[in-house]
């Protein structure tokens, strides 16, 4: 009898049916990075070089409208494990910054799948899900953390320290070692070793390879650092931000980080290191993809590449994330390859809620009956037209410099951000893709604003967001009682 997952897959279309009848349960290589913007890949920019990711996209599908459910690491990663919005899994913000976070408390698909005993599980790299529990507590058979073992390895080989340029504590520098001695490539080798071990067992496997890069501060290897000329890096289209009619916290964020006087001459060096680190991660990913091809495992392995969220990286003159729901922070790269199932060279423009939809997808691929608040992406690969959402949502419950609560709805043409304790934001993305001009008080956009507020409110009710239960939500979103 075929596994339940393959029975489910067969229902999606004739091309998938043919593949499913011949193949055993697929392997899954899930690659996630930290703070990689959607517009910083070779497929989306002439400025960044990501040849391996570009090749992966040509061999599969890239989603051009993938949005994270929340642009903060801990809750985003908790969303991926639970398939729930942060307000449902109770992890609202990063537990290791400023205020103590509510404890992540939800069932996970990894525990449910591990209980069935069908898959070998491996976790390599950044965790950032729970302050005490590790992947081993969530069903994984093996866990290789990113810091301790690599730090010991680097110390044992007496490798030199990073070179820091001291233009700000978060602006980084470069790593003087060769690429094979960097953490990214060390992690890639650990993932390869697990894949080889699991392949020998004869069981299907799931390996998560988690890079903490290109999260600031970036210290790319000198080889990649030297590939980018900072003077050839153009300023972001929204670097002219003056914060007119924007929420107070946005301009204040510059002062909180001490970057209020930074010019593009400062930022181009930061962006140089960010680009270089992305290229370095891409090179490490290439090692793992090469291993899959060499061993023949690529033919029955679903490969997923994505990021937990994005990075301001100088856009709107801002750094990191927090307190904003601009596309630079909430839109992420998402590329998937699965020969015989996922069509080649496709750019899918449908809206994806990345962590939630990926949790639902992994559950369906592995034949797991696990409820999520996302939608499995498998039906999209049949090529047949199917009903699908026409917008994306993202939340923020931040506390790095004080509590700020935000909710976003983003359609093809417009974006509305509900800032519960400050001025709201409305952007016409056709006329202003850089999101510079807040139209929240423009009477010409009043009908659009009313519709977006209504749709956002209905979505919040559907996903049981506690914010929507307040009378103030009705006053602001349904009655427009908002200054």
d(CA 41, CA 231): 19
Q: Which CATH number fits domain 28-392: 2.60.40.10, 3.40.720.10, 3.40.640.10, 3.20.20.10?
A: 3.40.720.10
The average pLDDT across 244-252 equals: 96
pLDDT at 12 over 70: no
Contact residues for 234 (Cβ-Cβ < 8 A; gap 6+): 47
Q: Looking at residue 219, what is its pLDDT?
A: 97
- pLDDT confidence tier of residue 91, bands split at 50, 70 and 90: confident
Look at 138-142, 311-315, 320-324, 423-427 and tell me which has the smallest mean pLDDT.
Answer: 320-324
pLDDT at 6 over 50: no
First to last CA, the chain: 62
pLDDT at 4 over 70: no
How do beta strands 301-307 and 27-33 pair? Answer: parallel
d(CA 324, CA 298): 39
Q: Looking at residue 147, what is its pLDDT?
A: 85
pLDDT at 392 over 50: yes
Q: Looking at residue 22, what is its pLDDT?
A: 36
Structure confidence by residue, pLDDT tens digits, 101-111: 778 889 999 99
d(CA 44, CA 281): 17
The average pLDDT across 231-255 equals: 97
Cβ 224 vs Cβ 283: under 8 Å: yes
Q: Looking at residue 104, what is its pLDDT?
A: 86
* Block residue for tokens 């990501």: 50
Which residue in 477, 427, 479 sits closest to 455, CA to CA?
477
Structure confidence by residue, pLDDT tens digits, 202-240: 999 999 999 999 999 999 999 999 999 999 999 999 999
Cβ 32 vs Cβ 308: under 8 Å: yes
Cβ 468 vs Cβ 88: under 8 Å: no
Cβ 364 vs Cβ 378: under 8 Å: yes
Q: CATH 3.40.720.10 occupies which residues in the chain?
A: 28-392
pLDDT at 409 over 80: yes
Which residue in 301, 77, 283, 73 sits closest to 182, CA to CA?
283
Cβ 224 vs Cβ 179: under 8 Å: yes
d(CA 417, CA 409): 7
Which residue in 321, 328, 316 sits closest to 238, CA to CA?
316
pTM for the complete prediction?
Answer: 0.94
- pLDDT confidence tier of residue 481, bands split at 50, 70 and 90: very high
């Amino acid at each position: 009898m075929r596994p339940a997952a393959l029975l489910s897959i067969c229902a999606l279309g004739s091309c998938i049916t043919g593949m499913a009848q011949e193949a055993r349960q697929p392997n899954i290589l899930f690659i996630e990075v930290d703070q990689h913007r959607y517009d910083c890949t070779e497929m989306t920019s002439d400025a960044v070089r990501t040849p391996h990711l570009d090749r992966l996209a040509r061999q599969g599908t890239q989603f051009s409208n993938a949005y994270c459910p929340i642009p903060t690491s801990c809750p985003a990663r908790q969303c991926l494990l639970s398939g729930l919005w942060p307000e449902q899994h109770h992890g609202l913000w990063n537990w290791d910054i400023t205020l103590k976070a509510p404890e992540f408390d939800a069932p996970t698909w990894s525990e449910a799948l591990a209980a069935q005993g069908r898959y070998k599980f491996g976790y390599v790299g950044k965790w950032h899900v729970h302050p005490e529990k590790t992947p081993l507590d969530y069903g994984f058979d093996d866990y290789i953390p990113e810091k301790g073992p690599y730090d010991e390895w680097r110390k044992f080989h007496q490798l030199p320290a990073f070179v820091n340029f001291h233009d700000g504590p978060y602006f980084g520098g470069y790593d003087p070692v060769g690429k094979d001695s960097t953490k990214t490539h060390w992690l890639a080798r650990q993932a390869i070793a697990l894949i080889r071990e699991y392949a020998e067992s004869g069981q299907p496997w799931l390996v998560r390879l988690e890079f903490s890069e290109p999260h600031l501060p970036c210290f790319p290897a000198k080889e990649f650092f030297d590939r980018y000329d900072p003077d050839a890096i153009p300023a972001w289209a929204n670097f002219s931000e003056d914060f007119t009619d924007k929420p107070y916290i946005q301009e204040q964020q510059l002062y909180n980080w001490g970057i209020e006087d930074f010019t593009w001459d400062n930022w181009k060096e930061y962006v140089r290191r960010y680009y270089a680190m992305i290229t370095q991660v891409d090179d490490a990913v290439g090692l793992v993809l090469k291993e899959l091809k060499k061993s023949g495992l690529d033919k029955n392995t679903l490969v997923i590449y994505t990021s937990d969220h994005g990075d301001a990286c100088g856009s709107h003159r801002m750094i990191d994330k927090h307190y904003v729901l601009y596309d630079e922070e909430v839109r992420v790269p998402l590329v998937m390859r699965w020969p015989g199932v996922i069509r080649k060279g496709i750019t899918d423009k449908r809206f994806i809620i990345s962590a939630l939809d990926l949790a639902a997808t992994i559950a369906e691929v592995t034949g797991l009956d696990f409820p999520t608040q996302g939608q499995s992406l498998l039906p999209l690969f049949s090529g047949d037209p199917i009903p699908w959402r026409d917008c994306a949502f993202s939340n923020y419950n931040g506390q790095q410099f004080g509590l700020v609560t935000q909710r976003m709805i983003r359609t093809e043409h417009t974006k509305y951000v509900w800032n519960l304790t400050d001025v709201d934001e409305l952007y016409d993305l056709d006329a202003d893709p850089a999101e510079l001009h807040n139209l929240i008080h423009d009477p010409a956009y009043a009908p659009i604003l009313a519709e977006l507020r209504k749709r956002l409110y209905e979505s919040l009710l559907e996903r049981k967001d506690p914010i929507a239960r307040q009378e103030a939500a009705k006053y602001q979103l349904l009655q427009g009682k908002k200054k």
